[in-house]
């Protein structure tokens, strides 16, 4: 394996000690067929020079990478699942495979798996991942990255040749193993486990570890634990706002699915909104709508409150309470900024801008205009030619949209928007979107004919959209 000078391995997580994880081994799969490799992000950690055979060796057979973890670690955690506390969680079909530093940002990143086999936390499960589930993870992470969401990256997808039985899709079905590139797999549930066990020393050790490796800014705070919690509140509020502006519904906002870095990850029953509907749910089993689109901010706030409870032994409750109370104001501010960026407008947070953003979402709700199409049409405050050729053209003639478009045009267009005016993405008549019908059509080609061409092309289309929006996220 030729090592790139950008390859910088690390071994930090195992320094927490054996009480934080279990050493495990990957399943021995009957076949390993490479279906997706993310060379864009492999280049950022010095692994893009791997041949396909070497890639499969490490991410299908899980031969250790040089100078990082030599034995995979199944992480221990607890969590609230749909409001009910579960002490029997942990990495049941995944593990931490490696840690590396990212070029440029110098962030510590994890390579973690999904579908890599049974662990002590599998709870009678087979520890496997369906190929359709892996494909959906690729699509979700690529789409969210393109839309400016702080998300984990699907790094690798390998088909593994097993037939899996699943109750929520036609069975038997094909299997896969996925590798995720993430800015930490430490989650609220990691802290909850230690709090439940009454392990104050472990809580202090974990908090110090998270501050040292993920939130060094917190160390400058008068009380670093309060500083840490404040950073997490800000990051989670921003993530929730990014989801909202993307029209994304995660589906399973349990405390074990919220990381301490505020990075979106673990895409199971996700959906994107066809139209603005606060009651829209992603998971068929979410029968009460606990994690519906419009309730996601509430769910995130509730989860943060559970994190605050675990930190009480380490600090003063009043400081935690004050930090938690900043969540909703920060969410609203981040939503205004993110929405304006997606519309190609200057992302300020004046009272006027906030009111116009609220008016925009109200118009989406009241007219049931297609969500993604509306953002696409109204980019740069709505080019008349784009509005005229849009499938939404008749809607934009309604008084409610006439007023909203006029309000958007009263805001300044960003310099980035002007620079992007000739981008090929704007030559399309419709945006790249990710509705369930699209996902099912892509899977049908794969399942029935083993034809990956439409999937591969759609990933390229998403990345074209991402190249269009990317300068806005850097603003």
pLDDT digits (tens, 9 = 90+) for 248-259: 999 999 999 999
Q: What is the pLDDT of residue 409?
A: 96
pLDDT digits (tens, 9 = 90+) for 182-195: 999 999 999 999 99
pLDDT over threshold 70, residue 239:
yes
Stretch 261-282: mean pLDDT: 97
Over range 437-466, report the average pLDDT.
98
* Mean pLDDT, rounded, for 148-169: 95
Residue holding tokens 């800014």? 217
The answer on pLDDT for 129 being more than 80 is yes
Q: What is the mean pLDDT of residues 349-375?
A: 97
Residue 119, pLDDT > 80, answer: yes
Predicted confidence (pLDDT) at residue 1 exceeds the cutoff of 70: no
Q: Is the pLDDT of residue 148 over 80?
A: yes
Percent of the residues in the chain that have a pLDDT greater than 90, as a whole number: 95
pTM over 0.85: yes
Residue 145: is its pLDDT beyond 70? Answer: yes
Residue of 126, 169, 125, 132 lying closest to 29 (CA atoms):
126
- pLDDT tops 80 at residue 237: yes
Q: 3-class SS at 353?
A: helix
Q: What is the pLDDT of residue 440?
A: 97
Mean pLDDT of 202-211: 98
Structure confidence at residue 3 as a pLDDT band (50, 70, 90): confident
Query: Which H helix or E strand runs over 86?
Result: strand 84-86
Cα 177 off chain centre by: 18
Mean pLDDT of the chain: 96
Beta bridge pairs of residue 176? 129, 159
**Is the pLDDT score of 333 beyond 80?**
yes
What are the pLDDT digits (tens) for 23-46? 999 999 999 999 999 999 999 999
Section 311-322 average pLDDT: 98
383 pLDDT higher than 80: yes
pLDDT of residue 354: 97
Query: Please, which residues have CB within 8 angstroms of residue 340's CB and are 6 or more apart in sequence?
Result: 346, 347, 348, 353, 357, 411
Catalytic residues: 256
The CA distance from 101 to 108, in Å, is 5
Contacts of residue 396, Cβ cutoff 8 Å, sequence gap at least 6? 377, 382, 387, 390, 402, 405
pLDDT reported for residue 397: 92
Region label for 62, one of left (φ > 0), alpha (ψ between -120 and 50) or beta (otherwise): left
Cis peptide before 389 (omega within 30 of 0): no
Query: How many Cα atoms sit within 13 Å of 65 on the Cβ side?
Result: 28
Ramachandran region, residue 330 (left: φ > 0; alpha: ψ -120 to 50; beta: rest): alpha
As a whole-number percent, the residues of the chain with pLDDT over 70 amount to 99
Distance (Å, whole) CA 43 – CA 265:
21
Chain centroid, CA 82 distance in Å: 19
């Amino acid at each position: 394996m030729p090592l790139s000078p950008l390859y910088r391995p690390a071994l930090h997580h195992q320094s927490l000690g054996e009480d934080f994880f279990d050493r495990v081994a990957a399943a021995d799969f009957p076949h390993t067929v490479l279906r997706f490799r993310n060379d864009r992000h492999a280049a950022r950690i010095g692994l893009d020079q791997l041949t396909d055979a070497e890639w499969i060796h490490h991410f299908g057979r899980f031969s250790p990478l040089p100078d990082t973890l030599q034995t995979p670690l199944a992480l221990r955690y607890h969590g609230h699942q749909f409001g009910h506390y579960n002490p029997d969680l942990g990495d049941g079909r995944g593990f931490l495979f490696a840690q590396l530093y990212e070029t440029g940002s110098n962030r510590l990143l994890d390579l973690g798996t999904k579908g890599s086999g049974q662990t002590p936390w599998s709870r009678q499960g087979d520890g496997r991942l369906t190929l359709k589930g892996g494909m959906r993870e690729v699509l979700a992470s690529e789409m969210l990255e393109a839309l400016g969401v702080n998300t984990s990256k699907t790094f690798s997808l390998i088909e593994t040749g097993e037939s899996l039985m699943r109750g929520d899709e036609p069975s038997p079905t094909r299997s896969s193993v996925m590798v995720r590139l993430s800015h930490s797999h430490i989650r609220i549930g990691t802290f909850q486990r230690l709090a439940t066990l009454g392990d104050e020393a472990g809580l202090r050790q974990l908090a110090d570890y998270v501050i040292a490796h993920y939130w060094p800014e917190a160390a400058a705070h008068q009380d670093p634990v309060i500083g840490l919690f404040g950073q997490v509140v800000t990051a989670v509020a921003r993530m929730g706002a990014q989801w909202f502006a993307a029209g994304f519904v995660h589906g399973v906002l349990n405390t074990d699915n919220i990381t301490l870095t505020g990075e979106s990850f673990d895409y199971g029953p996700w959906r994107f909104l066809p139209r603005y509907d606060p009651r829209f749910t992603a998971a068929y089993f979410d029968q009460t709508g606990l994690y519906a689109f419009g309730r996601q901010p509430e769910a995130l706030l509730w989860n943060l409150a559970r994190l605050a409870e675990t930190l009480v032994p380490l600090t003063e409750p009043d400081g935690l309470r004050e930090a938690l109370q900043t969540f909703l104001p920060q969410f609203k501010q981040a939503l205004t900024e993110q929405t304006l960026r997606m519309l190609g407008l200057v992302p300020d947070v004046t009272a006027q801008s906030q009111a116009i953003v609220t008016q925009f979402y109200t118009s989406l709700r009241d007219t049931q205009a297609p969500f993604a199409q509306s953002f696409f049409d109204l980019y740069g405050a709505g080019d008349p030619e784009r509005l005229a050729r849009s499938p939404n053209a008749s809607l934009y003639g309604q008084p409610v949209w006439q007023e909203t478009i006029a309000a958007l045009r009263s805001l300044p267009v960003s310099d980035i928007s002007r620079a992007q005016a000739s981008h090929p993405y704007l030559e399309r008549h419709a945006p790249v979107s990710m509705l369930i019908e699209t996902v099912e059509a892509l899977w049908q080609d794969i399942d029935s004919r083993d034809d990956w061409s439409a999937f591969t092309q759609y990933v390229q289309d998403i990345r074209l959209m991402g190249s269009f929006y990317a300068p806005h996220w850097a603003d």
